[in-house]
Chains A and B, each alone.
Chain A
Amino acid sequence: MSSNEAAKISVRNLNAWFGEKLVIRDIDIEIPEKQATAIIGPSGCGKSTFIRCCNRMHELVPGARVQGSIQLDEESIYDRSIDPVLLRRRIGMVFQKPNPFPSMSIRDNVLSGLKLTKSGRLKEADSIVENALQQAALWDEVKDRLNDPGIGLSGGQQQRLCIARALAVEPEVLLMDEPCSALDPVATARIEDLIHGLKDDYTIVIVTHNMQQAARVSDRTAFFLMGELVEYRGTKRMFTTPKDKRTEDYITGKFG
């Protein structure tokens, strides 16, 4: 990374386990602020585990363990003084499968982060809902039916609703774990467009198994293989002139 880019998240010697199984090993990576960073690699390479370490979701799985350091704005997130609950309000997450809360309306889903945590910002609920839905490019489609159940939307709309829900909490970083893998190409394209706009305001880390997607949306790409970080460079250079033989084999489709 060139020196004029500030690192939003910097990771040193990160190892993570499920029980006895080491799933990521010795990861060192610096994720730049207000850019989109893609994590690619075959299934089971540890890419999802990696981003779940960044918002301390990994440790919620019984038997899961983390070692090493992750710094968010030079603050160590695994420090004892850090409350993971508060950390997750600064680092939002969107999951593989859209998971709007089934008992809530569209509006309540957007506000769910604030309602769950009893945020004082609920006083401006209406403008928060509109703002978050605008940012997630969903406002025009749902503005006349905000009180309908969120679950009644299409898959792609549900995923944008989940993005709006994450944005309403005003995070600094947005982690996306294969956000389009359950969506059709049209819905995927909409989410990708959205990411282009969002990176002006947020630091985005997107896990994807789709290399074209990584090439389309990201500024930098990291290639993970069997729990290790093989290569991490600017996306264009990564896809045109990979340094590592394994990266080249993967992006040219020799395995994966």
Chain B
Amino acid sequence: MKLNTRRGRYTETVFQFLCLLAIALPLVLLVLLLADVISDTHGRLTWDFLTSYPSRKAERAGILPGLVGSIYLISLTAAMALPIGIGAAVYLEEYDKRGKLAALIELNISNLAGVPSIIYGLLGLELFVRIIGLGSSLLAGACTMTLLVLPIMIMSSREALKTIPQSFREGAYALGATRWQTVRQVVLPLALPGILTGAILSISRAIGEAAPLLVVGALAYITFLPSGLDSPFTVLPIQIFNWVSRPNQSFLENAAAGIVVLMAAMLLLNSFAIILRNRLHKRRYW
């Protein structure tokens, strides 16, 4: 047999090339998109843009209420969704692993993760805005967003818990630890980086959502910052949506600048998640 020809070699090269193409395509598109958007801003992206309120005059308009609103909304959402999501995942994974109830809940959660976000908006409108009577407030928006991110957060937290080998749980039980002591002191510390990575990714999805918040009643034109949980609010995507829908060309420049701000916020959150994940891998000993 000759050693210098191998039948699989050609196929391998082609396959490698196709994979490279698959990774290059989205990257190139993303760079093009970013470049296009940045060139559309025509220098609108200044410090003043970040610190001004919207205005009827495009050149004086800024994104401050949207930016602050987004930050408030996401922080509130995280504060509500994290404990509920982690709690639900711990229950499903550590307490009721093979129960009938868990199986039913699991099925529903994976279905919920696929429900379009506008449906959550309708639910939020009915439940939080009308029945509970929160009105079109920051809190109602955050509650709606919490519902939206919870299924993904629960699923990713469960995955993180699943990666912790059973032998550590057994080691703790064998020392006379209760289930709660085992979860609290052995399992959660090991799973936390993974849980947080999933949580940040699901929250960074929420930061780009406009549809459910429009339904809940976030305002598009707002000249003040939210003063409390019951205050009206707006967010970046809604502000952008509003500018895009104006006929005046200079508002489109504002929209482009807004998009850059939104992208920057998302990339910031995602890179934070990547840093956390890398730390997880460094600490992974098993």
Contacts and interface: CB of A to CB of B under 8 A. Distances in A.
B181 A117 contact: yes
Interface in A192-240: none
Contacts of B182: 116
Contacts, number: 76
Contact of A85 (B177, B190, B283, B285): B177
Instruction: Classify the secondary structure of A's interface with B.
Output: mixed
Contacts of A99: 165, 167-168, 170-171
Nearest to A56: B173
**Dominant secondary structure of chain B at its interface with chain A:** helix
B167 A86 contact: no
Contacts of B284: 102
Nearest to A97: B167
A151 interface: yes
B31 interface: no
A134 to B, nearest CB: 19
Given A102-B190, A103-B283, A116-B182, A57 B170 contact: yes
Contacts of B176: 85-89, 113, 116-117, 169
B181 A116 contact: yes
Contacts of A160: none
A93 interface: yes
A47 B286 CA distance: 26
A115 interface: yes
B189 to A, nearest CB: 5
A116 B285 contact: no
Interface string B163-190: 0010110111111111001100110011
Contacts of A166: 174-175
A102 B171 CA distance: 12
A101 interface: yes
Chain A interface size, under 10 / 10 to 19 / 20 to 34 / 35 or more: 20 to 34
A253 interface: no
Contacts of B189: 103
A88 B173 contact: yes
Nearest to A90: B176
Interface string B145-178: 0000000000000000000010110111111111
A63 B170 CA distance: 16
A92 interface: yes
Contacts of B168: 99, 101-102
A107 interface: no
A89 B181 CA distance: 14
B98 interface: yes
Q: What 9 A-B pairs come out closest when comparing CB atoms?
A: A89-B176, A113-B175, A93-B174, A116-B177, A62-B98, A102-B285, A99-B167, A88-B176, A151-B285
Interface of B: 97-98, 165, 167-168, 170-178, 181-182, 185-186, 189-190, 283-286
